[in-house]
Amino acid sequence: MSDYALNQVLYAKAREHKMTDAIGADEVGGYDLTPEERAALAAGDLDALFRLGANPYLIRRVFRRKYAL
C-alpha cells in the first residue's frame, strides 16, 4: 500500500524532530511512492498529503511551520 510509504517518509522526518517546508526527491529515493505522492511532498502540499492518506498528526508535525498557528 503506497500511503504506507508516504507515512514512512513523514515518520522518519518526525523522528528526527525536524520541521520542513518541503521534502524533495533527494530525500525519498528509497521509498515506494507514486508520482502524486512525490509531488505533494516536494510541494509541501498539506491538503494533498492528507487526501493521499498521510496521517494528519505526521503532516502537522513535519510541516508545522507552514500553519498559521
| Contacting positions for another protein (CB under 8 A) | 4, 7-8, 11, 14-15, 17, 46-47, 50, 55-61, 67-69
Assess contact for 25 and 38: CB atoms under 8 A.
Answer: yes
Q: Dihedral sign, CA of 47, 63, 53, 41?
A: positive
- Least distance from another protein to the Cβ atom of residue 48, Å: 10
- Least distance from another protein to the Cβ atom of residue 35, Å: 22
- Least distance from another protein to the Cβ atom of residue 4, Å: 6
Assess contact for 19 and 65: CB atoms under 8 A.
Answer: yes
